[in-house]
Amino acid sequence: MTERVPRSTTSGLRVIEITQRFPPAIGGVERHVRDLATHLDRAGVAVEIITSDLYRDRPFTRLAARPDGMAYPVRRHRAFRAFSAPHGLAIGAPGMAFDAVRARGAILHAHAFGRFPTWVGRMAQRLRGSPLVVTPHFDAGSGPRLYARAVARGTLVGADRVIALTEREATALVTLGVDRARIRVIPNGVDPEDFLPARVPRPTSASLTMLYVGRIDPDHKGLSDLLRGLAEMKERKNVTLRIVGEDWGGGNALRSLARELHIDHRVLWTGGVPPDALRREYAFADLFVLSSHLEPFGIVLLEAMAAGLPVVATSVGGIPEVVQDGLTGLLVPPRDPSALARALDTLVADPQLRSQFGNRGRTRAEEFSWPRLIPKFLELFRELTR
């Protein structure tokens, strides 16, 4: 078995990111890994990606071709589903394991709680002694406690470092048995300049545009709550809701619900859009809404704030550490359409408040810019090389 030749580096670091899916596959973890790898590469780190050929897991869909064009190697391996399980937990790619075990002299950085990459990273650590970092992207409310403890014992407890996206996640990981001394809190990042509102002026009109960005996933994203909240709004005749994202199941049922609530003429479904079109969606919107039931962090919240949008979101997972309630947006309880409606009405009726939240949001987004975060990753990786 031949060893891969390490890429040249100016930082002295070689890092292999292991992730279940990678763009053009969509998702917050996927975007986080892509952006992290891109900025590590710019910082002189020899970075590589080990991933599968999976585009989405509901339904199970492979990428039609092997995309390239990245500044660093992306190695895609054929994915298989062992059996039916929620959230893609029974999907793996044996080639990823072989690749990770062969990777000598590199720091392994595996992503996503309980997913195949974290088990791969732990196996390679045990077999070859490779330093292992795991970013679980974990929401404490995402599954049974017994299962979470089993996953933590198998993939996190033995990792050299565990990266939590928020302090709340760090606390939850400690309750699962992870040593707090091994945990580092480093949030998701954003490139604020990509979403500057001045790039596309927003039109002036009597109707306001509310924007949702994310996959069409009724269970986790709370989209039925959002539709019911829109129907309860006092100001609903003055708004249009744009739902931007790919349908991961349940789209037809949500459209039927919109018709039953007599708001279907107020809801526009765009499907998935390319990056340039996504930036235009942010630029033309007046406020952003995220009604998730589960959300470890919510990168779209950073994008919305960078675009100068006030935010209404549910107070779940890591969201309260991203959106400052009463300063950059309004937080409401999950699964509460009435509370959602009241918060949306408040912003729709108060343009000055929208402006204040939007301006503070742009400042807040700068705190999560990649140039501020990358030194934290470099420091962590250097700890392991020392």
Q: Give percent above pLDDT 90 in the chain.
A: 82
Under CATH, what is the fold of the domain 192-366? Rossmann fold (3.40.50)
For residues 1-9, give the mean pLDDT: 49
Task: Give residue 64's pLDDT.
Answer: 85
Asked whether the predicted pLDDT for residue 153 surpasses 60, the reply is yes
Q: What is the pTM of this model?
A: 0.93
Whether 192-366 and 14-189+369-385 are alike in CATH topology: the answer is yes
Given pLDDT bands bounded at 50, 70 and 90, which one contains residue 3?
A: very low
Tokens 């039931």 sit on residue:
293
Task: Give residue 1's pLDDT.
Answer: 38
Asked whether the predicted pLDDT for residue 142 surpasses 80, the reply is no
The DSSP string of 12-50 is: S-EEEEE-S--TTS-SHHHHHHHHHHHHHHHTT-EEEEE
Q: Give percent above pLDDT 70 in the chain.
A: 94
Given pLDDT bands bounded at 50, 70 and 90, which one contains residue 205?
A: low
Domain ranges within the chain, ordered by starting residue: 14-189+369-385, 192-366
Question: Tens digit of pLDDT for each residue in 261-317?
Answer: 999 999 999 999 999 999 999 999 999 999 999 999 999 999 999 999 999 999 999
For residues 317-323, give the mean pLDDT: 97
Asked whether the predicted pLDDT for residue 341 surpasses 80, the reply is yes
Question: Cβ(170)–Cβ(143) under 8 Å?
Answer: no
Q: Which has the closest alpha carbon to 30: 65, 84, 69, 74?
A: 74
Given pLDDT bands bounded at 50, 70 and 90, which one contains residue 163?
A: very high
Q: Which of 58-62, 160-164, 358-362, 369-373 has the weakest average pLDDT?
A: 58-62
Overall CATH class of domain 14-189+369-385: alpha beta
Tokens encoding 255: 């459209």
Task: Give residue 2's pLDDT.
Answer: 39
Task: Give residue 82's pLDDT.
Answer: 83
The single-letter code of the amino acid at 57 is D
> Count of H helices and E strands in the chain?
13, 17
Task: Give residue 178's pLDDT.
Answer: 97
Kindly tell me the burial class for residue 162, based on how many C-beta atoms sit within 10 Å of its own C-beta (0-12, 13-18, 19 or more). buried
Mean residue pLDDT across the chain? 92
CB neighbourhood size of 65 (10 A): 8
- Sign of the Cα torsion 54, 268, 291, 304 reads positive
Question: Tens digit of pLDDT for each residue in 174-186?
Answer: 999 999 999 999 9
Asked whether the predicted pLDDT for residue 6 surpasses 80, the reply is no
Structural element, H or E, at residue 329: strand 329-332
